[in-house]
Chains A and B, each alone.
Chain A
Amino acid sequence: MTTTSKEVARVKQRGLSGQARLLGLVSRVRELGLLIVLLLIIVIVGIQAPRFLSINNFEQILLSVAILAIVAVGETLVVLARNVDLSVGSTVGFTAFVTAYFFKELPHANLLLGILLGCGLGLALGMVNGLIVSFGRVPSIVATLGTLYAYRGLVFIFAANTTSQVNASDVPTDYLALATTQIFGIPALILIAAVVAIIVGYFLRTSQSGRQLYAVGSNPEAAKMIGIRADRLIFAAFSASGLLCGLAGVLWGARFATVDATNATGLELQVIAAVVVGGVNIFGGSGTILGAMLGAIVLGTLENALNILNISQFWLQAIYGAAIIGAVMLDAFITRWLQRAIRTGRKRA
Chain B
Amino acid sequence: MKKLASLLKTWEALLVVLLLVSILLGSLLSPYFLSGFNFYAITSNIMEIAIMALPMTLIIIVGEIDLSVASVLGLASVVLGFLWQRSNSMPLAIIVALLVGLVAGYFNGVLVTRLALPSLVITIGTLALFRGLAYVVLGDQAVSNFPTAFTNFGFSTIPGTELPWSGLIFAALVLIFAVVLHFSRLGRQLYAMGNNKEAARFAGINVARIKLALFILSGLLAALAGVIFTARFSSARPDNAVGFELEVVTVVLLGGVDIFGGRGTLPGVVLATFIVAILQNILGLKNISGDIQSLAIGLLLIVSVLGPNLARRIQVVVARRRLAVGSSKQV
Contacts and interface: CB of A to CB of B under 8 A. Distances in A.
Interface in A125-156: 132, 136-139, 141-143, 145-150, 152-154, 156
Contacts of B118: 282-283
Interface stretch (B1-9, B13-21, B124-132, B264-272): B124-132
Nearest to B116: A332
B136 A315 contact: yes
Contacts, number: 138
A317 B291 contact: no
B121 A149 contact: no
A322 interface: yes
Contact of A269 (B124, B135, B296): B124
Interface in A303-349: 312, 314-322, 324-325, 328-329, 332
A63 interface: no
Interface in B87-112: 111
Contact of A132 (B130, B250, B306): B306
A153 B120 contact: no
B302 interface: yes
A272 B124 contact: yes
A40 interface: no
Interface string A49-88: 0000000000000000000000000000000000010000
A160 interface: yes
Contacts of A298: none
B237 to A, nearest CB: 13
A139 B295 CA distance: 19
A324 B249 contact: no
A322 B139 CA distance: 18
Given A132-B306, A136-B310, A148-B298, A153 B291 contact: yes
A150 to B, nearest CB: 4
B285 interface: no
A151 B136 CA distance: 29
A148 B293 CA distance: 13
Contacts of A318: 128-129, 131-133, 135-136
Nearest to A313: B135
Contact of B301 (A146, A273, A276, A319): A146
A65 to B, nearest CB: 17
A69 B95 CA distance: 43
A316 B298 contact: no
B305 interface: yes
Q: How large is the interface on A (under 10, 10 to 19, 20 to 34, 35 or more residues)?
A: 35 or more
The DSSP consensus for interface residues of chain A is: helix
Interface string B251-285: 00100000110000000000000000000000000
Contact of A152 (B129, B294, B305): B294
B129 A322 contact: yes
A143 B299 CA distance: 9
B35 interface: no
A146 B124 CA distance: 15
Interface string A234-270: 0000000000000000000000000001000000010
B128 A142 contact: no
Nearest to A138: B305
B174 interface: no
Contacts of B132: 314-321
B243 interface: yes
A157 interface: yes
B24 to A, nearest CB: 25
B178 interface: no
Contact of B291 (A261, A314, A328): A261
A149 B128 contact: no
Which of A145, A273, A315, A325 lies at the interface centre, i.e. has the most chain B CB atoms within 10 A of its CB? A325
Given A139-B259, A315-B136, A324-B125, A149 B297 contact: yes
B122 interface: yes
A160 B290 CA distance: 13
Nearest to A90: B298
B309 interface: yes
A328 B292 contact: no
B329 to A, nearest CB: 32
B323 interface: no
Contacts of A269: 124, 127-128
B128 A314 contact: no
Interface of A: 84, 132, 136-139, 141-143, 145-150, 152-154, 156-157, 160, 261, 269, 272-273, 276, 282-283, 312, 314-322, 324-325, 328-329, 332
Nearest 3 CB-CB pairs, A to B?
A153-B295, A318-B132, A321-B129
Interface of B: 65, 67, 111, 115-118, 120-122, 124-133, 135-136, 139-140, 243, 245-246, 249-250, 253, 259-260, 289, 291-299, 301-302, 305-306, 309-310
11 contacts: A136-B306, A148-B298, A150-B294, A153-B293, A153-B296, A157-B292, A276-B121, A314-B136, A314-B139, A325-B125, A329-B117
